[in-house]
Structure 1
Amino acid sequence: MLEVGIHEADKLVQVAHALSTRSRVDILRLLNTRSMNIIEIAEALQLPVSTVANNVKVLEAAKLINTELLPAVRGAMKVCSRNYDDILIGLNSSVRSTRDGMKLYEVEMPIGHYGDCEVHPTCGMATHEGMLVREDEPASFYHPKHVTAQIIWFRKGYVEYLLPLEIPQNAKIQSIELSMEMCSEAPNYDNDWPSDISVWVNGTEIGMWTSPGDFGDRRGVLNPSWWLDWTTQYGLLKTWRIDQERTTLDMQKVSDVTLNDLYLNQRPSLRVRIGVKSDAVHKGGVNLFGKQFGDYDQDLVMRVSYTMDELE
């Protein structure tokens, strides 16, 4: 669920604008049950491909959908998926509950604030102002200034974050969402560079996503002016969701891991690891984007939906 409040005026205006035309609403309707490429959407709605492409850009900018470049018979095709089933607009900024009584807890962890790592070249990190450490020096990932990183890349290994679970003791977690912008890590960039990127929660692998490439065919929306044109530019926004039945990635089931597998009652935090396994088929590395790089104004976002059990 996407929750946006009146205290987030810019975000609210962007979402409202994305929903303000029938064409964009129809696109969201088509993406209700499956992903579709732009040509399929254009044919279904009987609209010009250029019109659909422009509307897709608006929906993607509002984070209502995400797009992924996949190989096609000629070149690549842009495949669209919907990010949310529901949108909650809160006009009272103090309200953090949905209409069905569900409560929401959200933490945005800067990507530089990892607590553990094991990385191998190519690797490096940068801030919005410049390179943060020497490239291809794994030891530099342990330097205290890593907390300021806004983009991180490595060919093999992982980074691991500890996210606080500041929820009441009698809370019953219904779902956990993890959202991040990421892609593969190739020399310079390569749109056709697959990488099997896995995510673990509390030591349990919840699933794997094969990133199609390290994207550099255009500049990232948020990239600083000093960032070179011939290197990694942007990633794809991926949303993992674990509930009481399964784990999904962008609404598609990726594993049978459930909340019960994560031992949530045994710790006040959530341990999230992102990396490429040593036995992965495609060892194509990872790029992680912070709020000031890539296309999406966010870091690693965790959203926890929960209900309240009555205390005995």
Structure 2
Amino acid sequence: MRGRILEINNDENSVEVIKALASEPRMAILELLNKAEMNLNEISERLDMPAPSVTVNIKKLEEAGLISTEYQPGSHGSQKICKRTYDSILISLPGSNVHFDTNMVEISMPIGNYKDFKVEPTCGLAKEDGYIGILDDTRSFLEPEHIYAQLIWLRKGYIQYRFPNNLPDKTILNNLELSMEICSEAPNYNEKWPSDITVWVNGIEIGTWTSPGDFGTERGKLNPDWWNSDQTQHGLLKIWSVNHNGSYIDGKQISDTTLEELNIYDDNFIDIKVGIKDDARNIGGLNLFGSKFGNYEQDIILRFRYDYE
């Protein structure tokens, strides 16, 4: 799964999507299908929901495009397999100045390809086939292998990346969006371990999200076999964005910082920093997941949405 985003803009499908989401049983089905593809009987058993109700709700979600289904051979005839089609939904309300129908540039940055860091233990890095360097030793972040990291964790500090500025010439930037799978960092794991995680763009703070915990109860879908089950397993897919009106996390405004303050046009690169501020209320560390760990098959994604002059 790759952090798939559905963008709706006051069109005829918007109402159907919103209606489909306005149901606790259907939201429970979407949450369940985030963990694995399932047939109707499995959904019925896991949610303790009557089979006819499952069928009706699946049809509503399918009509809204929020899940897809296919028939596969089973032990007793064919079975209907359901899977979720999106991980996030971005809604542009009528009259909004945020437009998602513009041109877009997307850049994927491997989490191990950082340009700078400042970390404090507990800290470490892992790749697909094992740890990198020595656990809780900051020198491990200087190992040449760090570029292959698929999971990075730290108790305090930051990781900084330099993205190429691929915004085309003679364009007007309307929206900058940054998405990543992330969570707190606790010993082993702790579902109730808040941490204030902040993002900076070109040195300008755009917003802080308080992660509720370090998630380890359910195994990450992408984690390699060697990764122990008593450790951090997955994060949450979070989206920071900035437009001409302010800065947002998952569509909710969290600051008045605008695109104009980020000096996007000044250089051929854009610096992105993710970390824990020294004076944060909740210093609970962070885990950053690459495309081979956690639940989302993506690295750090930077998107530009723009119009031509």
Instruction: State the match for 1:64 in structure 2.
Output: 86
SS in 2 for 1:196: strand
What is the rounded CA distance, in whole Å, between the counterparts of 2:230 and 2:199 in structure 1?
28
Instruction: State the match for 1:232 in structure 2.
Output: 232
**Aligned partners of 1:83 and 1:251 also within 8 Å:** no
Q: Which amino acid aligns with 1:41?
A: S
SS in 1 for 2:91: coil
SS in 2 for 1:83: strand
Instruction: State the match for 2:213 in structure 1.
Output: 213
Unaligned segments of structure 1, at least 5 residues? 1-9, 17-24, 33-39, 66-81, 87-97
What is the rounded CA distance, in whole Å, between the counterparts of 2:280 and 2:105 in structure 1?
33
Correspondences of 1:182-221 after superposition (within 5 Å): 182-221=182-221
**Aligned partners of 1:176 and 1:241 also within 8 Å:** yes
Q: Which amino acid aligns with 2:89?
A: N
What is the rounded CA distance, in whole Å, between the counterparts of 2:26 and 2:23 in structure 1?
10
Instruction: State the match for 1:85 in structure 2.
Output: 91
What is the rounded CA distance, in whole Å, between the counterparts of 1:287 and 1:109 in structure 2?
16
Instruction: State the match for 2:247 in structure 1.
Output: 247
Q: Which amino acid aligns with 2:91?
A: D
> Can you list the C-alpha shifts for 1:94-137, whole angstroms capped at 9, x where unaligned?
xxxx995x211000000000100000000000001111121001
SS in 2 for 1:168: coil
1:29 to 6, 18, 32: 18
**Aligned partners of 2:132 and 2:143 also within 8 Å:** no
**Aligned partners of 1:179 and 1:302 also within 8 Å:** yes
- CA, structure 1 residues 144+63, in 2 after alignment: closer, same or farther (shift >3 Å)? farther
Correspondences of 1:129-148 after superposition (within 5 Å): 129-148=129-148
> Can you list the C-alpha shifts for 1:249-285, whole angstroms capped at 9, x where unaligned?
1011111111001011111111000000010010000
**Aligned partners of 1:63 and 1:83 also within 8 Å:** no
TM score, norm. by length of structure 1: 0.74
Unaligned segments of structure 2, at least 5 residues? 7-13, 38-65, 68-82, 93-98
How far is the alpha carbon of 1:288 from its aligned partner?
0.1
SS in 2 for 1:207: strand
Q: Which amino acid aligns with 1:84?
A: L
How far is the alpha carbon of 1:41 from its aligned partner?
3.2
What is the rounded CA distance, in whole Å, between the counterparts of 1:135 and 1:145 in structure 2?
14
SS in 2 for 1:84: strand
SS in 2 for 1:253: strand
What is the rounded CA distance, in whole Å, between the counterparts of 1:26 and 1:197 in structure 2?
34
**Aligned partners of 1:181 and 1:237 also within 8 Å:** yes
How far is the alpha carbon of 1:139 from its aligned partner?
1.6
What is the rounded CA distance, in whole Å, between the counterparts of 2:124 and 2:34 in structure 1?
33
> Can you list the C-alpha shifts for 1:142-162, whole angstroms capped at 9, x where unaligned?
222111100000000000000
Q: Which amino acid aligns with 1:64?
A: Y
- CA, structure 1 residues 168+194, in 2 after alignment: closer, same or farther (shift >3 Å)? same
- CA, structure 1 residues 99+129, in 2 after alignment: closer, same or farther (shift >3 Å)? closer
What is the rounded CA distance, in whole Å, between the counterparts of 2:27 and 2:243 in structure 1?
37
**Aligned partners of 1:41 and 1:52 also within 8 Å:** no
Q: Which amino acid aligns with 1:199?
A: V
- CA, structure 1 residues 154+55, in 2 after alignment: closer, same or farther (shift >3 Å)? closer
Instruction: State the match for 1:122 in structure 2.
Output: 122
SS in 2 for 1:131: strand
How far is the alpha carbon of 1:84 from its aligned partner?
2.1
Instruction: State the match for 2:23 in structure 1.
Output: 41
Please say which structure displays the higher CA radius of gyration. Answer: 2
